[in-house]
Amino acid sequence: MAHSGRRLTRRTLIGGAAAGAAGAAVPGRATAARKRRQIKVDVAVVGAGLAGLTTARRLVQKGAGSVVVLEARNRVGGRTFTKRKHGTWVDVGGQWVKTKPSGYGPAQDRMTALAKEVGVKTFPTYYEGDDVGYQHGVRTTYPPGPTQELPPGPGLADIAPAIVKLDQMAAEVGSVAPWNAPNAADYDGQTFETWGRANTATEDGRKLIELGAEAILACQPRDISLLYVLFYIASAGTLENLFSTPSGYQESRFVGGSQQVSRKVARALGKRVILNSPVGRIVQKKGHVTVESARAVVTAKQAVVAIAPALTAQIRFDPPLPPLRAQLAQRFPMGSVIKVHAVYDRPFWRDDGLTGFTVSDTGPVRISFDNTPPKGSPGMLVSFLEGDEARRYSNRPPAERRRAVLDSFARYFGPKARNAIDYIEMDWMKEPWSRGCYVGIMPPGVMLSYGRTLRPSIGRVHWAGTETATQGAGYMEGAVRSGERAAAEVMARL
C-alpha cells in the first residue's frame, strides 16, 4: 500500500471540508480544473444514488476507512427524486417498495431496512375498490382478483398460461448467471416480442405482453431479449411480484417520498458527499486509483462506480476498460419513460369505488395508480408514458402531453379527470445524468456474451448500481443490495 488508512482519513476530512466550500467552481468548465481540490481517501464512490450512498454508509458504519462520494447532479438520490408541491410531496422518480413477503415472492427487505435505519416510514398504496379496464374502446370496472389485477376477458385467458411459462423459465434461468442457463443461447437469440407472438393467440394477449414490457421496463417487447426478461423476473421472484400492487412491488410508498432515504443517508455522510462534480476520468496506477471530477480529484485505494452501465461510457478509463466491459457499456441502454402526475382537489375516483388502478390498450398512458398522500388530499393520479409513447411524446409541447394524459385519465375516471389543478411531469430521458429510466435494458445477445462482465471488479474499480443486482434488479432494492455487495467487496481489499 502506498499510504496508510489512518493518514488518509485525516486528509479526507480536510479535503472534504475544503471541497464543500468550493461552491464557486462551475462543473465541467475549462477553468474548473484550476480550482479542483486534491483529496486522498480509502474509497472513492462515483454517484450519490441509492447504490453509491449505501456503499458509503456501510463502509463508514464498519469503520472501513475514509470515503468520498462524487455526484454529478446538484442533488442526491439518482433515479429517486421527490418534489414539494401542494403542501405535500410528489415522487417524480422511483417510489414504491414492498415491505413484506407475499405468495408472489420476497419483500424488498434491504431497501425497507435502510429506510427504517434512517427513520423513513412507509404506508400501503391505496388499493380499495374496483380497477378500471379499457379495451377496444370499452371501459369496464372489475374487482381485482387473484390473477394479477388484469381485466377479465380473452386477453387474460390468453396470457395466463404465458405468465406461468415465464415464471417457470425464469426459475430455470435464475438471476445470478443467466448466461449459463441450459437454454440461454436460445432465449437470448430472440426478442421478447418474438416469444410473445409465439405464446399468445389473440391480439388482446399480445397487447398485454406489450403492456408488461412497457410498464415494467419502459420499452417495447422488441427492445429486449427473452433471456433478459427471464433474468428480471427471476430477480423479483415471479412476474406477479413485479406487477402486483398489494402483494407485489407496488405494495407501499414512503411517507415524505422515496428521496428522503437518500437525503437522510447523505446528511449522515455529511461533507463526504460532493455535489455538482461529474466524474470525467478514472486512472488506475500502481497502488491507487484517481477519480477526476469537476470539483475534486480524489486519490483512493479503491473506487466504486455506482451508476448505470450505459452512463459509464462517458467516463474515460485509463488504462481503458477491458474490451468486453467497454462494449457492455454500449449495449445496455436505459429505458424510455416520462412520469406524469395529475393533481386534483380530492381523489374523486374513490367516491366511485375505484382503486385508481387502470389497465388499458389505448395510450398514451395505460397503467395508472392512486398516488394521493396518506392524509387524503390533494387527489393524485400517477402514470407513465413508456417505450414508444415516451419517445413519441418527448419532443411535443408540454400542453399537448398534458392534454393527452388528461384525456386518458378522463377515459378511465370520467370527465372530472380533465379538471386537474396541476400536471407534473418528469422526462427521465432528458436528464443528462440518467439518460432514461427505469433501468438499463438488454437487447438480444447482451446477457449471453457480456452478462458475466457486469459485476467483477477491474483492478481497483468496483461496480454498483441496481443493474448489477441479482435480487430486486431495476428497483431501489437492487441499488441498496448492490451497494452492500460493493461495500463488502471493497472492504475485503482494504
Residue ranges in contact with a second copy by CB under 8 A? 28, 30-31, 33-34, 36, 185, 188-191, 193-194, 197, 219-223, 225, 278, 280-281, 292, 297, 310, 313-318, 320, 322-324, 326-327, 329-334, 336, 388, 391, 394-395, 427, 429-430, 432, 435-436, 443-446, 448-450
Q: How far apart are CB 142 and a second copy at their closest, in Å? A: 31
Q: Give the strand order in the sheet containing 422-427.
A: 138-142, 130-135, 354-360, 368-370, 379-386, 337-344, 422-427
Which residue number, 118 or 429, has a Cβ lying nearer to a second copy? 429
Minimum distance from CB of 242 to a second copy (Å)? 21
Question: 20 or 189, CB closer to a second copy?
Answer: 189
Q: Which is nearer to a second copy, 357 or 463 (CB)?
A: 463
DSSP-derived 3-state class of residue 429: helix
Question: What is the smallest separation between the CB atom of 310 and a second copy, expressed in angstroms?
Answer: 5
211-246: buried (b, 16+ CB within 10 Å) or exposed (e) per residue?
A: bbbbbbbbbbbbbbbbbbbbbbbbbbbbbbbbbbbb
CB of 444 to a second copy, least distance (A): 5
CA distance 200 to 22: 59
CA distance linking residue 81 with residue 90, whole number of Å: 8
Minimum CB–partner distance for residue 179 and a second copy (Å): 12
- Residue 167 CB-density burial (10 A; 0-12 exposed, 13-18 middle, 19+ buried): buried
Shortest Å distance, C-beta 147 to a second copy? 27
CA neighbours within 13 Å on the CB side: how many for 8?
Answer: 23
Instruction: Assign 471 to helix, strand or coil.
Output: coil
- Helix (H, G, I), strand (E, B), or coil: what is residue 105? strand
> CA 341, 342, 343, 348 torsion: positive or negative?
negative
Nearer to a second copy (CB atom), residue 131 or residue 223 = 223
Pick from 228, 227, 225: nearest CA to 182: 227
- Smaller CB separation from a second copy, 292 or 489: 292
Residues in the chain: 494
Q: Which is nearer to a second copy, 97 or 308 (CB)?
A: 308
CB closer to a second copy out of 270 and 456:
456
Residue 331: CB minimum distance to a second copy, A: 5
CA distances from 248 to 30, 104, 257, 370, 465 (A): 48, 7, 19, 16, 22
The Cα–Cα gap between 350 and 352 comes to 5
* 3-state per-residue secondary structure call for 154-205: HHHHHHHHHHHHHHHHHHHHCCCCHHHCCCHHHHHCCEHHHHHHHCCCCHHH
Cα separation, 394 vs 392, in Å, equals: 6
Smaller CB separation from a second copy, 80 or 453: 453
Using the 8-state DSSP alphabet, how is residue 270 labeled? G
Q: Select 307 or 480, whichever has its Cβ closest to a second copy.
A: 307
